[in-house]
Every structure is written in C-alpha cells, then in structure tokens.
Structure 1
Amino acid sequence: MNSSQIKHFDYIFTGSGLASLMIVYKMILSGKFTDKSILLLDQDAKQKNDRTWCFWEKEDSVWNSVIAKKWDLALFANEKIKLDLELKPYTYNKINGLYFYKFVFEEFSKHTNVTFLNEKVTDINELETHVFVGTEENRYTCNYLFNSIYTKAFAERQTKYPVLQQHFLGWFVKTEKEIFNSEEVTFMDFSVEQKGNTRFMYVLPISGNEALVEYTLFSEKLLPKEEYESEIKSYLQKFGVNQFEIIEKEQGSIPMTCFPFWEKNTKRVLNIGTAGGWTKASTGYTFKNSDKKSTQLVEFLQNENLNLKNFHKKSRFWFYDLLLLDILYRHNELGSTIFSSLFKKGNLILIFKFLDEQTNLIEDFKVILKCPKLPFITALFRVFFYRQK
C-alpha cells in the first residue's frame, strides 16, 4: 500500500476502552474539536454487556442517564463486625457496560468527524511529524495517538514496583427468596475465609431477590475458576439459598500497581486508561479516575505547542498507594485488618474524599493514622530506602 492510500486523522485511539470512550465523548461535548478527525480502533465491537463499573459521586455527572442503580447505604463486614454505613452526601452508582457503549456510540454517530472501526491494532510507530498505526486490515497515520492497549509485560517484568491483581468472578443471580437489601450495597465482606490473602465478597443488589455477587481478591495470583464459583455458592448458602438462577456472569483481573506507565508517554503518544496508570492502584477502581483524567486531558489538548509527555503530574497519592501495595504484596493477609481499621474507625465521607485524591495534608494524616501503624512505618522506610538506591 502506498502513502496516498494511507488515511490520516488528527487523533487516533488504539483500543476503545472506558478511557478512550470518555475522552472522545467529552471532546464532542466541549465543541472544541469539530474540525478535528478522530478514529477509534478496537478488535472488540463493544456490543456485549461485558463489565460493570461502579463509582461514588456527590452530584449528577454527564453519565447520570446511564446509571442503572444508585445506593445510599453500604455494608462493610468482617468475621467480627457488620457496619451499616450512611453514604450521604454521596451515592454509590452502577453502570452496565453495554448501556454505556450504546450511550456514547449513539452520540458518536451524530458526528461525521468521529469514526469507529472494528480492527485489531498490530503496529504503532512514532515518527518525527506523525504517528503510524497498522491494523490487520489497514494502515493509518495521525498527529497524536492515545493508546489504551495494556501491555502486561511492562509492569510484570520488573521488580521495583509491586504488582497485585484485583481479580474476581461474579454471578448476577436471581433467588426464589428475597434475601438482599436492595437499598444497601456490600462494599467489602471479609467474613469469608482469607486463606492468607485479601479476599472479600462484593454484592450489588438490584432487588430483594436479584444481585450481582462477586468473589474478589487483591493478591498476586489468580485462582482456578472453580474456586471463585465455589465461594459464591458457599456465600449464598450462608443466607439459606441453595436454589438460584444465574442470569449473567462476569470475570476480570485489574492490575494494581504504581508502575510509572506514564514514563512511556512521548510527544505524540499518550498511554491512557489502565495502560497509562489511570486505574487507582490501591483499590482497582477505574471509572472515577478515568472520568477525572479524561476531563483534564480534553482541556490539555486545547493547548498550543502540544506535547503529550507533559500531561502526567505525579502526586503524593501515588506514594500513599505505593505504601499500601508494598504491604499487601509482602503481607497479603493484612488486607482485612487494614480496610477494617479504616471503615471501623474512619469517617466515610473523608475516606471517599481521600480516595478521590481531594484531601489536604491534615486530612491525609487523619485517614492514614486510622490504619495499623507498624506495617505502614515499615513500608515507609523500606520504600524510601529502596527508591534512594
């Protein structure tokens, strides 16, 4: 194929995951990119309900119309305590992947400058004046490229930064008896056997007899599928449920690491989403962070003399996340103790504010001091000493 047949775009997004879709949607909303051509490339056609996103929010956002369910109450539990937590002024919100895809693609279809192609990316090559992108079917060029295709090897083939996985398997079940409180989400139920890890149940109830029940771990290694499923069955049996219908299933693994993916950003190529370190390392939450980062990026793209390498700004919250991950990587069994101390002694509104990275230093210390002291002090010295070497 000669150069005259290679189509050029102002912006290309390789991978159309959550971050890419948020960015393009907000570019449209801004009205500042109507003269710019935008291409999204993904081997997945985005026509399945393949995931669930949840986030807490004080006020309505641009995503309000696709929120499937909101909760004002949350349950936190371990083998000794059960805490019913009032979330106000926050709500905990659930978005189904398929509805989100339909929502953004319907908007994209109204704009002739936005193109989505169901093609697998095979090659990215940055040149001085543009970026070259190859797929199995075609070749393209662009001025700037945003990559959300995650490369596991970048994080997992190094030893400087710990890498855990938030891995889970969930069943959306329908039971004969009404056993769920549809007004209360279960954030973390650590009453399940820990087996030397950080393991908990996560429950999103839709009605008295319908809920998404997920067995979740923050640990290094994944489990056989049968073990997740066995734990979900055992958990339902605790409520006296032996007969139930599985409506849908979902399974995933989200990397939890402070590896500096942004160091691979260049003048014309920006890594975004999980591939850019946008996932909140200490919790695995993706939606809220991507929402914030995508807003910042759309504003950043309006600068003259654009250099994508300048977009990322590291904050002290990255260091806090690194401390927690260092502890959980070395002592994975401490997860229940750490999270229990936060929720048992802490102010939930302050915890949410801290996880949203909106606290000041005094508020930071109020949260951190609720955690077990010795593991964090040890991690502080270990991380500081190691990073000075």
Structure 2
Amino acid sequence: MWQRGRVDASPVEVDLALLGGGGAASLVLAALDRHDVAGLRVAVVDPVRRRGQDRTWAFWGAPGGELDPLLSASWSRVDVVTPAGRRVLPLTPLRYAMLRSAPVYDRAAEAERRLGAVRIGTPAGVLHDDGHRVTVRDPDGRVLLRAGWVLDSRPRPPERPGRTRWLQHFRGWWLAADRPVFDPGRAVLMDFRTPQPARGVSFGYVLPVSDRYALVEYTEFSPAVLADAAYDAALRGYVGLLGLDLAAVRIREVEQGVIPMTDGPFVARPSPRVVRLGIAGGATRPSTGFTFAAMLRQADQIARALAAGRPPVPAPAYPRRHRWLDAVALRALDRGHVGGVEFFTRLFDRNPPERVLRFLDGVTTPLEELAVMRSSPLLPMTAAVLGDTVARLRRDPAPGDVPETGARAADRAGS
C-alpha cells in the first residue's frame, strides 16, 4: 500500500517502521519474510522506491547461503597484486561473491507485498520515543506514524568526530569487450600497482562476471575524495596496467561511492525503541569500509528476534576489541607509522586467506586476532597503540576538528 503522507488526525499505527528503503532495510524485509514473521504490522518510510542497479556489493562467506540465487558471480580464488608480484589466494571453504542491487530490491518489494507493509512516500523527520511507542514526523512536523519499534537506516555522522577520519571512496567502470579479455574464474581483490596517494593507500580490483564483462574499480582509503577527472584518470591508468585497450572496450555503467572509515562512535540505539541500521548503526568496519556482511548478519538477527517475540535489537556489528584494533590501524596509517601497501601485503602474506577474510569481516576469535597482530610491523603498530591510548586519555579530537552544531549530510555510502 503506497501513501503519500499522513496528517496528525489519522497517523498510521504499526508494530515496526523502517526508515529508509536502501540495502539495510531491503535485507530486513527479506529476512522478515524468510522467517515467516506473522501478524506484524510493518511500514516503510522512504520518498524513493529503490529499483534497478544502483550499486554493487562484494562480500565473502560460505557457499549455500540464502543469497546464492541472487548472486551475479562468485569466486573460490582471488588475486592480491603488489609491485613485487601476484599472489593467488584459495578461499575454500569461503568464497568471494558479487551481489548487484536490482535482485535485492526486487526481493524486498516482494517481501513487502507478502508482509502487507504500508509504504509512506515521504521523508521521515524527527522521532519522539516515549519508551512505549515512537512517533515519526515528516520534516514539516506532521505525524506520519506511530510504531512499537523503529529501524532507522538514514545516513548520519558519528555521535562525535573520531580521532582519525578517513574515507573509502571509489569509482568503477562496468567494461564490456567483444572478445574474451577477463578470467571469470578469478577476481582481483586488491591490486596495489596503482599510484599511491601522499596520505593513504589506493588499489584497483576486478570482478569479472564473464570473460567479456567485468567491474573494474579504483579505490582509495584516504582523508578526502577526489575530483571526477582524477577518478577517471586513475581508472584509465589501471585499465592500462591490466593490459586492456580502452578503445577495444565499452563503459556500460559507472558506479561511485563514499564510505566513512573513522573511529568516531556510531550510536546503534539512540533511544529505547529506535535501532539504527547500516552505516548509521555502526555496520561499517572502520579499517576497511566493508559494510554488507554486517548488515546481512543484523537483518537475520532482527528477524529471528521478532519471530521469537523478542525486541528487534541485533548484536553490535563488531566486538569492542575490533573497534579498538581498527582505531589503532587507522591511526598507524594516518600518522604514517606504516604504509598502506606494506600493511595489507603483510596481512595477506603472513596469514591464511580465511583468517584474513574472517578478520576483515569482524568474526575472528581473540586467538586469531593475536596471530593477525603478530603479522603487522611491531614497532610502528606499538607507536600507534601508545598514541591511541594517550589520545583516549586526553580525549583528543581528530586533527583539524572543530565543534559541530548539527548533523552533516553523508555521502552516498552503499548501505
């Protein structure tokens, strides 16, 4: 049911409201349907009905999951490339997978229909949580609905600025060729032969769907985004490194995004009955910008909780010790204690691939994390640990921070 908005006289009454209809909300809707959460009154509040291919997610996990029918491609081997050479990483029992947005949105729309959800095509504004119900208003202050619980995936900055604030920012070209030029059996996870920024790390990667069609992307982990022309120049250079002639391929689609990499805290539960999802809820791994796997885990936890009659409150996306490790790693990279290429090269060279991927995904055990820490440069990382500890004791802000008086709009972030 589509509604353009409501007035105070007759607000919608629901058990669960999802604010925002992007990837995080789409995964929750599908999980509610999959777990057959019966009798739940659901509303989706979003001015845009998401359709089509507007983003691509890449993630790793075991084959046989509920997303398998939706995948565009998957790989049991990936390459990590440095100026010194190429390393092929066997991922079994895991695999690296590509998921495009269209089937995710289509599945969410079907779940929405099966759940009988109300869709309100108006932006959500201020929320008022009285501990029993949450009142959702539009930006003009009119009441849109009242809900027992609200899951809010709208972008927002961290509660306070982090000591380190970087971004994962990228642009990708979907390239089509008339003859076989890609190896569909192997993806390039990270290729560090790209020119490195003065402060940060860059890499290219290749996700082939077939021998004639692939996503080729340039990514930076650094403090600031680039101009459009700089991304295109970097992509042209990387395509040349791959041995491809741009005159012999066609750019079918362009993807671009910005994801926060910061040790600033994202508050996942700002009030008793409001739960934040996606980047706003801390689903982004600060040291890498990876988000999708955490969103998928939390969607399943929410649906299982509701099916069992429990509050829809997922576990934290990452353990506290991981957030500390990420803060240290970001500090080491930002202050120049260790180079980005060296950091990631040692990570893959000195650990089994499965351990690295599990660590980047935030699901390793403390013993596995100790092994990962031993593979990093000891003295530089020790300096970063000491610096982070002193900064926490002093409550130092990030360099150049000034007090903020309001929320800043987030860039398109892939959640």
Q: TM-score, normalised by structure 1?
A: 0.91
Counterpart of 2:152?
147
Aligned length: 384
Question: Secondary structure of 2:125's partner?
Answer: strand
Of Structure 1 and Structure 2, which has the larger fraction of its residues in helix? 1
Counterpart of 2:164?
162
The alpha-carbon distance between structure 1 residues 332 and 219, as it changes in their structure 2 partners (threshold 3 A), is: farther
Q: 2:352 aligns with which of 347, 350, 359?
A: 347
Q: Could you list the per-position Cα deviations for residues 346-388 of structure 1 after superposition, in whole angstroms to 9, with x for gaps in the alignment?
A: 2101112222333322221111111112221111112222223
Q: 2:79 aligns with which of 54, 75, 78?
A: 75
Q: Map 1:232-381; keep pairs closer than 5 Å.
A: 232-238=235-241, 239-243=243-247, 244-262=249-267, 265-301=270-306, 306=311, 314-331=319-336, 334-381=339-386
Instruction: Say whether residues 1:35 and 2:39 are aligned partners.
Output: yes
Q: Return the letter of the residue paired with 1:101.
A: Y
Q: Could you list the per-position Cα deviations for residues 223-276 of structure 1 after superposition, in whole angstroms to 9, with x for gaps in the alignment?
A: 001111111112222304131211111100011123221265210111111011
Counterpart of 1:9?
14
Counterpart of 2:208?
205
Counterpart of 2:30?
25
Are 2:19 and 2:124, in contact at CA under 8 Å, matched by a contact in 1? yes
Are 1:258 and 1:277, in contact at CA under 8 Å, matched by a contact in 2? no
Q: CA deviation at 1:148?
A: 0.7
Q: CA deviation at 1:177?
A: 4.5
Name the CA distance, whole Å, in 2 between partners of 1:263 and 1:357. 17
Question: Secondary structure of 2:339's partner?
Answer: helix
Are 2:318 and 2:362, in contact at CA under 8 Å, matched by a contact in 1? no
Question: Secondary structure of 2:126's partner?
Answer: strand
Are 1:70 and 1:94, in contact at CA under 8 Å, matched by a contact in 2? yes
Q: Return the letter of the residue paired with 2:209.
A: I
Counterpart of 2:221?
218
The alpha-carbon distance between structure 1 residues 236 and 318, as it changes in their structure 2 partners (threshold 3 A), is: same
The alpha-carbon distance between structure 1 residues 128 and 315, as it changes in their structure 2 partners (threshold 3 A), is: closer
Which structure 1 segments of 5+ residues have no match? none
Name the CA distance, whole Å, in 1 between partners of 2:257 and 2:33. 30
The alpha-carbon distance between structure 1 residues 86 and 311, as it changes in their structure 2 partners (threshold 3 A), is: closer
Which structure 2 segments of 5+ residues have no match? 1-5, 395-415
Name the CA distance, whole Å, in 1 between partners of 2:252 and 2:344. 31
Q: CA deviation at 1:308?
A: 5.2
Q: CA deviation at 1:77?
A: 0.8
Q: Return the letter of the residue paired with 1:111.
A: L
Q: Could you list the per-position Cα deviations for residues 255-308 of structure 1 after superposition, in whole angstroms to 9, with x for gaps in the alignment?
A: 112322126521011111101111122221111111112222333446778495
Question: Secondary structure of 2:72's partner?
Answer: strand
Q: CA deviation at 1:128?
A: 4.2
Counterpart of 1:195?
197
Deviates more, 1:294-303 or 1:16-25: 294-303
Q: Return the letter of the residue paired with 1:82.
A: R
Name the CA distance, whole Å, in 1 between partners of 2:320 and 2:105. 31
Are 1:174 and 1:247, in contact at CA under 8 Å, matched by a contact in 2? yes
The alpha-carbon distance between structure 1 residues 352 and 263, as it changes in their structure 2 partners (threshold 3 A), is: closer
Counterpart of 2:49?
45
Identity %: 24
Deviates more, 1:242-251 or 1:137-146: 137-146
Counterpart of 2:180?
178
Are 1:79 and 1:192, in contact at CA under 8 Å, matched by a contact in 2? no
Question: Secondary structure of 2:332's partner?
Answer: helix
Name the CA distance, whole Å, in 2 between partners of 1:256 and 1:93. 22
The alpha-carbon distance between structure 1 residues 362 and 16, as it changes in their structure 2 partners (threshold 3 A), is: same
Are 1:143 and 1:268, in contact at CA under 8 Å, matched by a contact in 2? yes
Counterpart of 2:135?
132
Name the CA distance, whole Å, in 1 between partners of 2:7 and 2:90. 62
Name the CA distance, whole Å, in 2 between partners of 1:109 and 1:339. 44
Q: Could you list the per-position Cα deviations for residues 152-210 of structure 1 after superposition, in whole angstroms to 9, with x for gaps in the alignment?
A: 3x36x62x432211100011011344332111111110001103220000111122232
